[in-house]
Amino acid sequence: MAAQPQGIASRPAAAAAAGSNPMMVSTSPTTRFHSPPSSYNANASFGGRSTTGSFSSTGAVGDSRVVGNAKPLKPFNSTDIKILLLENVNESGRSILTGQGYQVEHHKASLPEAELIEKIRDVHVIGIRSKTRLTEKVLAAAKNLLVVGCFCIGTNQVDLEYAAKNGIAVFNSPFANSRSVAELMIGWIISLARQLGDRSSEMHSGTWNKVSARCWEIRGKTLGIVGYGHIGSQLSVLAEAMGMSVIYYDIVTLMALGKARQVASLDELLREADFVTLHVPATSETRNMIGTAQLDQMKQGSYLLNASRGTVVDIAALVEALTSGKIAGAALDVYPQEPGGNGAFFNGQLNPGWGDELRGLKNVILTPHIGGSTEEAQRAIGVEVGDALVRYINQGITLGSVNLPEVNMRSLTLEEPNHARVIYIHRNVPGVLRRVNEILGDHNVDKQITDSKGDIAYLLADVSDVKPSDLKEITDSLEALSSRILTRVLY
């Protein structure tokens, strides 16, 4: 349910508000420096969970996502964090965020650009799925945005580079639907072997056609998996349980599950397999990975399955191989061109050259990119992205980020009073770490980690025995460096 926005001060307003507090600093989640709570006292020990409660009016105490003795790190009241969720993000993700005490505004659909620009202006977090485009124009309007959660697999709807350059982390959930895809493959293999698609559509048009010719059991047949990653390896286990022999080809040497066997080349796999299934990413090497030459290598009467990416198969070549009878059946979930929405769009105009012909072929299963589309996968995506957002907001951990370096550091614990975590997102220019270490070097740095991704670097440092005035000095000094993109201090 949408929570009512409570009007968090924007950066300039927050700075003005800071004038009224004795530390002369702001408590807004995205201002550069946050006043520690009154409990933060360099001479006193926090000593337990109850004291930690003063970090936040609602979020920190009893925080179920804080493991063991880990200290929830927050520079702000959880209720100040404003989150905009669009496109009906799954309840599993929403409840993780509301459970933290954040203000969550939830919309069922995406928003038109003008409204999006208006809404994104002062939120700290935005959660989207595939339809919301976060372009440079939209992101530039977001003055307080810390992080984007893509509650989906793809992230090409977000200008990742612009986001990184402006210190906005982006998270997604690439593997939460692996099992859903693997299970669909088992369904497809049986459906192709038994020509189920054809029998079903014949029955729907009133035709009774009881045949057993060229219908097979899958037990004892060989499944060739191309790409033995998250999906390929899940499928391997399922297929063996169905009595299939599994071989796989991958550019990386990978430990086989069960009795599966890695083969040395794609050609070897194509020559041996009764069913060839593709589970590779879209890269320049996998573009048209299966074309005429590869289809020629496949066994007479074998089957091809593709639920990876539409560019991996030369579909015109596949149409020829199906028409000639070389390939006995195929199942496709992905296409070079896919419609932007549901409706009568899957036609020859969308994919000229083969679109209409493909639809007219026997024993060809066509599905609209639904391999990973299950309730379970949506729930798992909600949990994975929700958790990643909480970790990032509360602890600065970037594990799973697609546009910032992935940096993890063990949590501060409740036994460590007067510690603070300094987060410094900066441009990766020569000499910057020397300058940063000069600033931090006057203090007791317990642990520090830094990593870079292209032009952007991310630094986490836990500093102990620091007074609020030290934290302000550290923040001001880091902010003064020309390499700075974003500084946050959590405690």
Among 153, 186, 256, 316, the residue binding ligand NAD under the rule CB under 6 A is 153
Among 72, 75, 232, 336, the residue binding ligand NAD under the rule CB under 6 A is 232
- Cα within 13 Å of Cα(65), Cβ side: 23
The CA–CA distances, whole Å, from 176 to 35, 54, 180, 478 equal 38, 35, 9, 38
- When the beta carbons of 211 and 399 are compared against ligand NAD, the nearer one is 399
Q: 451-478 burial, b if ≥16 CB within 10 A, otherwise e?
A: bbbeebbbbbbbbeebebebbbbbbebb
Residues 67-126 that bind ligand NAD (CB under 6 A): none
Residues 178-217 that bind ligand NAD (CB under 6 A): 178, 181
| 146 within 8 A of 123, measured Cβ to Cβ | no
Is residue 252 close enough to count as binding ligand NAD by CB under 6 A?
yes
DSSP classification of residue 12: H
| Cα distance between residue 389 and residue 393, in whole Å | 6
The site string for ligand NAD over 294-323 (x = CB under 6 A, - otherwise) reads: -------------xxx--------------
Residues 6+ apart with CB under 8 A from 231: 178, 181, 182, 185, 279, 307
Among 229, 291, 310, 339, the residue binding ligand NAD under the rule CB under 6 A is 229
| 261 within 8 A of 246, measured Cβ to Cβ | yes
**Count of positions on this chain that bind ligand NAD (CB under 6 A):** 31
- When the beta carbons of 78 and 294 are compared against ligand NAD, the nearer one is 294
Q: Least Å distance between CB 84 and ligand NAD?
A: 26
- When the beta carbons of 59 and 227 are compared against ligand NAD, the nearer one is 227
| Cα distance between residue 295 and residue 359, in whole Å | 19
Among 56, 177, 195, 487, the residue binding ligand NAD under the rule CB under 6 A is 177
The site string for ligand NAD over 326-345 (x = CB under 6 A, - otherwise) reads: -------xx-----------
SS3 label, residue 251: coil
- State the pairing for strand pair 456-464/420-427: antiparallel
Is residue 290 close enough to count as binding ligand NAD by CB under 6 A?
no
Among 120, 225, 226, 276, the residue binding ligand NAD under the rule CB under 6 A is 226
Q: Least Å distance between CB 226 and ligand NAD?
A: 6
Residues carrying an active site annotation: 309, 338, 369
Q: What tokens were used for 293?
A: 């030459």
Report which residue type is found at 46. F
| Cα distance between residue 235 and residue 233, in whole Å | 5
Nearest to 472, CA basis, from 165, 31, 115, 106: 31
Is residue 424 close enough to count as binding ligand NAD by CB under 6 A?
no
SS3 label, residue 239: helix
Stretch of 14-22, 123-131, 243-251, 257-265 lying at the interface with ligand NAD (CB under 6 A): 243-251
- When the beta carbons of 76 and 151 are compared against ligand NAD, the nearer one is 151
Residue 23's DSSP bridge partners are: none
Stretch of 15-23, 125-133, 245-253, 315-323 lying at the interface with ligand NAD (CB under 6 A): 245-253
Among 250, 274, 384, 387, the residue binding ligand NAD under the rule CB under 6 A is 250
C-alpha distance across the termini of the chain, in Å: 30
Is residue 33 close enough to count as binding ligand NAD by CB under 6 A?
no
| Cα distance between residue 480 and residue 245, in whole Å | 62
Is residue 375 close enough to count as binding ligand NAD by CB under 6 A?
no
Distance of CA 223 to the CA centre of its chain: 29
Is residue 227 close enough to count as binding ligand NAD by CB under 6 A?
yes
- When the beta carbons of 377 and 423 are compared against ligand NAD, the nearer one is 377
Q: Least Å distance between CB 312 and ligand NAD?
A: 7
Q: What tokens were used for 261?
A: 């066997």
Is residue 127 close enough to count as binding ligand NAD by CB under 6 A?
no
- When the beta carbons of 127 and 232 are compared against ligand NAD, the nearer one is 232
Which three-class secondary structure string do you get for 12-53? HHHHHHHCCCCCCCECCCCCCCECCCCCCCCCCCCCCHHHHH
Phi, psi of 484 (to 5 degrees): -65, 135
The site string for ligand NAD over 265-284 (x = CB under 6 A, - otherwise) reads: --------------xxxxx-
Interface contacts to ligand NAD, rule CB under 6 A: 153, 175, 177-178, 181, 226-232, 249-252, 279-283, 285-286, 307-309, 333-334, 369, 371-372
